[in-house]
Amino acid sequence: MTPAVVVAGLNVRYGEHLAVDGLNLEIEPGELFALLGPNGAGKSSTLRVLIGELRPSAGRVSLLGYDVVRALAKIRPRLGYVPDRDNHFEELSGRQNLRFFARLHSLPDARSAECLRALELDDAADLPVKAYSQGMKKKLLVARALLHRPELLVLDEPTANLDVYSAGLVRRMLRDLGAEGTTVLFTSHDMAEVAALAGRVAVLARGRTVALGRPAELAARHESRAVRVTLASGEVRELSLSDPEARAELARLFAGGEAADLETLPRDFAAAFARILERAEN
């Protein structure tokens, strides 16, 4: 099966500054893939190349089997994109915004109503977008990207500015899309979201991939186990098993009969991510 996304030796250069340095990625159809990294790591530049807004300085990028530089017109009808900042016609209503894009995709108006309903925006559909909250604008972006049922969905921080409920709604939607075979590539700064949603992640630092794999694997590789000990006195302590002093303390508590209960904690992906970046910096 042709990979949905192939990035081979991608370089993006702004003058003397190399924003993306030899990036390689391959994402399979139906995969939920997260692109992570601190600010300036090269995520946005990579996404801009993927949507055809920026030409690569070197390397090759193909989406759905087509080269983004040479055959963007073939990719566009099958690609959905949610930018990090909202870009709506503020003076038009949410419904008018979606209808416009639906018509560009030769879709009936009913499809825009369907997407508004799916994102729970139908009550505000006829209000001008300038009256929307940041979260509503973000949901409208997601609705717009889903209008034409794209095979590949690229999202730049899809849940930023969303309340807990709406963020959950979007996450469920992305999970369902993945299950239906849509390839989802997204960026996020919410590590809990990434751990819960992404099948695989790539961590970028200074334009290079510094870690690639499933979130659980990366956590296991880069973050040690920790335990929560409840003492007979009721006090609770968390001890990392990778720390020799903590291990000695744990042994002492059990030998002395002070420990009443022991719970193994799940590996923390956020901590693993921080450690990956720390190692990359060093």
Residues binding another protein (CB under 8 A): 51-53, 73, 76-77, 79, 81, 83, 85, 87-92, 96, 100-101, 103-106, 144
Q: Of 101 and 273, which has the nearer Cβ to another protein?
A: 101
> Smallest distance from the beta carbon of 80 to another protein, in angstroms?
9
**Minimum CB separation from another protein for residue 57, in Å?**
14
User: With respect to another protein, which residue has the nearer C-beta, 47 or 201?
Assistant: 47
∠ CA 63-157-159, rounded to 5°: 125
In this structure, what are the phi and psi dihedrals at residue 77, rounded to the nearest 5 degrees?
-70, -15
CB of 94 to another protein, least distance (A): 14
How near is the Cβ of 73 to another protein at its closest, in Å? 7
Find tokens 């790539």 and name the residue: 202
The DSSP annotation for 158-216 comes to TTTT--HHHHHHHHHHHHHHHHTT-EEEEE-S-HHHHHHH-SEEEEEETTEEEEEE-HH
Distance CA 262, CA 242 (A): 16
Nearer to another protein, 42 or 150 (CB): 150
Cα–Cα distance measured from residue 39 to residue 42, given in angstroms and rounded to the nearest whole number: 8
Q: Which is nearer to another protein, 37 or 80 (CB)?
A: 80
By C-beta, is 79 or 259 nearer to another protein?
79
Report the nearest approach of another protein to the CB of residue 145 (Å): 9
**25: buried, middle or exposed (CB in 10 Å: 19+, 13-18, 0-12)?**
buried
Q: How far is the CB of 152 from another protein (least distance, A)?
A: 12
Residue (91 or 245) nearer to another protein, CB: 91
Q: What angle do CA 64, 68, 72 make, to 5 degrees?
A: 90
